[in-house]
Structure 1
């Protein structure tokens, strides 16, 4: 390919920013990043926004390469045949290649009453709204957090540490990804914060009302404010634009992250489903996938064959308030080891992880192509026949 190449990146999260920065390795590539917000949102901090210890925004000038053009707009349609996208305010933006990194957000609850009476927090806007509701709610009001995954645990701990009366309803195991040893450590810390944990059988939520959460074993948990952290959803932009997606709405791609419909479209982050085997939702995975998506585009521009994605997960970390955490080491197949770090050291490692999730972006902005990540061969085994097992692992982690 000769002449200038126009690349449009949809989505300014971890994956989109990493991809946009990495693309600036070539002077003959023009990069346009389209995002609905004017600031970068480090989603690892949203529970802190709810708790009041962080505002969860970073100026794009800190994380985006100078050569990337930022357009604050919402894309309403992708015209793959015409190689252009349609912003909500009208007009079109053309591209030679498109990186789809639209991310994820709140899932529509399927539990009666959850939409009306529970507050989601998977986006900046809903987290801010929840924070406003908390500020207007008396400190003695019982708060129920639904969801025993990382977001639920972190949010419940953050609020309990600030003196709120919190019940965490897990709907199963507390922190299902964690090794049992690390889970026991987390449970002790939460108890020390005065937080009530309802986990195990019978703790699935069957209904939410204005002043209670109902469980499938018949229990009724008083709740003056209910926080919903279960599940996640992705934008329907890809499906509405006629691209092949999985049942959730993630773009179906091959192992190079190229859309199964169009080699000019590459997907990354939470809204990508390579080989219908999506990676676990995380800032770490999003950044690595964003970098790989850029590498795929750069390979096609150079006329060489793109490489398949290769990514292993070294760890997962969960904060338990501002003064404790669990840093869970993992095998390359993304299963927990017995080894973990808890307490104040775990909190410091969690804070380092949050800081590095942004620092990796700023480093890539200054030195495109610098980002590297650990590799592994477990994905090859999954592709040979472990799809069902892998899907179950991803859902447990989420």
Structure 2
């Protein structure tokens, strides 16, 4: 009998866990998942953990297939020629195929004082650093949330609902993804919670001090605690390993999610840039991309031609407190429209997304290969041809 095919998955978030679970449908495949922490982070609940209204840590036994080896370590380099992942502990993990699902985190320092005095909340460790600072601050202390994407809106709403004095500094428009009609509804809800929203060109942060935030218009806001949610970045592991990336550091792939440099490396989730036109960073895309990455690897093991990725969107959910949310609806090509669900109904949809994501992972762990996704962007191929001026075919 021949040896098993060894597949290493780097990253234990939504995409990485989905990929690892799906790979177990073949009994002749050995799967190792490399992750820097021993617990799964339910990332879309980090705003609740930050506000002290919920938890975001899940035991891997609840979402990861029993046949997957969990390696608690950090990947420091991919040795492409040797087909090995070098780990921070000094060990290495050899592979026949590699799935690159390192996810995303906070963007690097952008303005003076940000790194010293602001608190990003894109990762579990960042939120854990923030929590004692918030606990130590008086209830009336001014809290400034910088960045008015979904994470900024959600944490501002949670903190205000808990009685905090919150200013949300947009740096531009509130909720850039949102349709104007939906944006007005979200702004109304934030105002009702007592959140002061500063938007427009003068609301761009130029510096952060220990007890203040300075804006482009020359204004200075008192801020006992400054929370930074302005932008996401990806780890530089691919670039450090000599692999081709886009300008943001995502691994460049073809439409099967295969690296343009090596067909044994496949990407998934926030760190993937298929055809240089990545999908929106989101948990909504992570599960399908993780499943598709696994399917690409399984196709290659079987000697079949991998399929091109087809992932669409329904919109997004943004929580506005513990029981209220807005569900922005969109076309499958991720273009937001004027329709939305709000209030308690939206809150129920949002709550179902929390449980639904984990259920998808758990189901795939128990019955690998069963997960499927309904939303597919049929316009992607044409959009690629139009924007890139070329015909794209799988490798």
Instruction: Please show how residues 85-124 of structure 1 align to structure 2 within 5 Å.
Output: 85-124=85-124
| Residues 214-223 or 170-179, more deviating | 214-223
* Corresponding residue of 1:378: 379
* Corresponding residue of 1:393: none
What do residues 1-43 of structure 1 show as CA deviations (whole Å, max 9, x unaligned)?
A: 9642100000000000000000011111110001000000011
Q: CA deviation at 1:387?
A: 6.3
Give me the whole-angstrom Cα distance separating, in 2, the residues matched to 1:291 and 1:285. 10
Contact 1:182 1:342 in 2 (8 A): no
Q: CA deviation at 1:254?
A: 0.5
Give me the whole-angstrom Cα distance separating, in 2, the residues matched to 1:387 and 1:190. 40
Contact 1:313 1:331 in 2 (8 A): yes
| Residues 40-49 or 354-363, more deviating | 354-363
Give me the whole-angstrom Cα distance separating, in 1, the residues matched to 2:312 and 2:200. 30
* Corresponding residue of 2:76: 76
Q: Which runs of 5+ in 1 are unaligned?
A: 389-398
Give me the whole-angstrom Cα distance separating, in 2, the residues matched to 1:98 and 1:150. 31
What's the Cα RMSD here?
A: 1.4
Matched, 1:324 2:333: no
Cα 1:387–1:144 shift into 2, 3 Å: farther
* Corresponding residue of 2:212: 212
State the SS of the aligned residue for 2:206: strand
Give me the whole-angstrom Cα distance separating, in 2, the residues matched to 1:118 and 1:214. 12
Contact 1:277 1:387 in 2 (8 A): no
Structure 1 residue runs of 4 or more that deviate by more than 2 Å after TM superposition:
385-388
* Corresponding residue of 2:250: 250
Contact 1:319 1:350 in 2 (8 A): yes
State the SS of the aligned residue for 2:318: strand
Give me the whole-angstrom Cα distance separating, in 2, the residues matched to 1:73 and 1:211. 37
Give me the whole-angstrom Cα distance separating, in 2, the residues matched to 1:323 and 1:354. 13
* Corresponding residue of 1:391: none
Instruction: Please show how residues 185-264 of structure 1 align to structure 2 within 5 Å.
Output: 185-264=185-264
* Corresponding residue of 1:156: 156
Give me the whole-angstrom Cα distance separating, in 2, the residues matched to 1:322 and 1:140. 21
Aligned length: 388
Give me the whole-angstrom Cα distance separating, in 2, the residues matched to 1:132 and 1:249. 32
What TM-score do you get using the length of structure 2 for normalisation? 0.96
Q: CA deviation at 1:75?
A: 1.1
* Corresponding residue of 2:34: 34
Matched, 1:8 2:4: no
Q: Which runs of 5+ in 2 are unaligned?
A: 390-395
Give me the whole-angstrom Cα distance separating, in 2, the residues matched to 1:326 and 1:386. 32
What TM-score do you get using the length of structure 1 for normalisation? 0.95
* Corresponding residue of 1:396: none
What do residues 45-82 of structure 1 show as CA deviations (whole Å, max 9, x unaligned)?
A: 00000011222100000000111111111111111111
Q: CA deviation at 1:386?
A: 3.1
Q: CA deviation at 1:241?
A: 1.0
